Every structure is written in C-alpha cells, then in structure tokens.
C-alpha cells in the first residue's frame, strides 16, 4: 500500500471502530453517572494513565476544571500524571510501579472516583492504583483496550475498546471521554 492508501485505510478503520462505540452507549452513560454522583456529593475525580494516556488524563482534567461546552463552576479533577517531583521522587526512591498508588493514598477519599486510561490494561502502576483505591473506598472506572489485559474485571466499571491497535484504541477513547465530559457537564447543570 502506498501512503495515500494507508491513510485512507486507517481513516476508515478508525471511523468503523468509532461507529461500534454506539454498542457501548450504556457503559459510557454509566461511567458519566458514577462521576456525576461523586460530584453531587462533593467528591473529586482522580485520573491516571501512562504515555499518551497520561496526556489524556490531563486533557480530561482540563475539560472538567475549566469547561467543556458550558460556562459553569469548576469541577475538581486531578491528573495524577502531572506532578513530576512526586512521580520522579517516588519512582526513583521506591518504585515506578507505585507512583499512582501513592497519590491515590494521598488524595483519595471515600466516594471519590479514580479513572484509569490504558490501551493494554497491563500497566502495574495502574493495577496498584486500582487496588489502593478499593482499600480507600474510591470508586474505579477503567477505559481499556486489547481485551482489557490484567486490569479487566478489577474496576467497578469498565469500557473495553474492541481493538488491538494502540492508535485506534486511543482515538476511540478520545471519543468516549469527550462524551463522558459532555454528560458530566449536562448532569451537573441539570440539562439533557
């Protein structure tokens, strides 16, 4: 395949996958409702991921702290991927696998929500974060791909993108979390 054919193929593959997300509309709504319920009870959202998913964690946090579509009060959302001093100190002194677990221990309170984003579902630091969240009665949501990996079944709620290609999974996850942000905003402001 030449470059033009490759581009067309990948665009169509992505569009086909995003089209399949319609089958997951109930799961997307459920994830948003879990977060809306936490917000209505004065709680917060913690978000974690590695690599591109770390950037997605920051993106979601920005949408909720700032605004998505509507002018509204700030919603507490903390990307656990942003404090390089915590991440590098704990990673260097203790263990990189525990960087998110430690932050969940520090920031998570009962009724908060931890959202993890991963394409493989096999990142040890996310597995430890979920385990710590459960100890502290923090609700957990996982956005996964590739069948869910080791993370499958660990969270209170999960959405597994049905694909094996990391780039396509990430594209679908972007659509999912934008939908979740939209629903959260509507739910907080009372709109439908």
End-to-end alpha carbon distance in the chain: 45
Report the number of distinct structural domains present in the chain: 1
Mean pLDDT of 60-72: 95
The answer to whether 120 touches 148, Cβ cutoff 8 Å, is: no
Report pLDDT for 62: 97
User: 135-179 pLDDT, tens per residue?
Assistant: 999 999 999 999 999 999 999 999 999 999 999 999 999 999 999
10 has a pLDDT exceeding 90: yes
Rg (CA), the chain: 17
| Domain around 57 | 3-189
Which CATH number does the domain housing residue 31 bear? 3.40.50.10490
């Amino acid at each position: 395949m030449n470059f033009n054919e490759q581009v067309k193929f990948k665009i169509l593959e992505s569009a086909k996958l995003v089209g399949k997300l319609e089958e997951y509309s109930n799961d997307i709504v459920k994830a948003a409702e879990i977060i809306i319920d936490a917000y209505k009870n004065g709680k917060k959202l913690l978000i974690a991921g590695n690599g591109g998913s770390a950037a997605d964690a920051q993106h979601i946090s920005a949408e909720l702290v700032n605004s998505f579509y509507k002018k509204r009060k700030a919603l507490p959302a903390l990307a656990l991927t942003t404090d390089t001093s915590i991440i590098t100190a704990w990673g260097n002194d203790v263990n990189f696998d525990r960087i998110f677990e430690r932050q969940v221990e520090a920031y998570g309170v009962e009724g908060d929500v931890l959202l993890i984003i991963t394409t493989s579902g096999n990142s040890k630091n996310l597995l430890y974060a979920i385990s710590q969240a459960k100890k502290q009665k923090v609700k957990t949501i996982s956005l996964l791909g590739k069948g869910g990996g080791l993370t499958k079944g660990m969270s209170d709620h999960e959405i597994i993108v049905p694909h094996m290609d990391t780039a396509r999974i990430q594209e679908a996850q972007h659509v999912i979390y934008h939908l979740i942000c939209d629903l959260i905003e509507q739910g907080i402001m009372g709109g439908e």
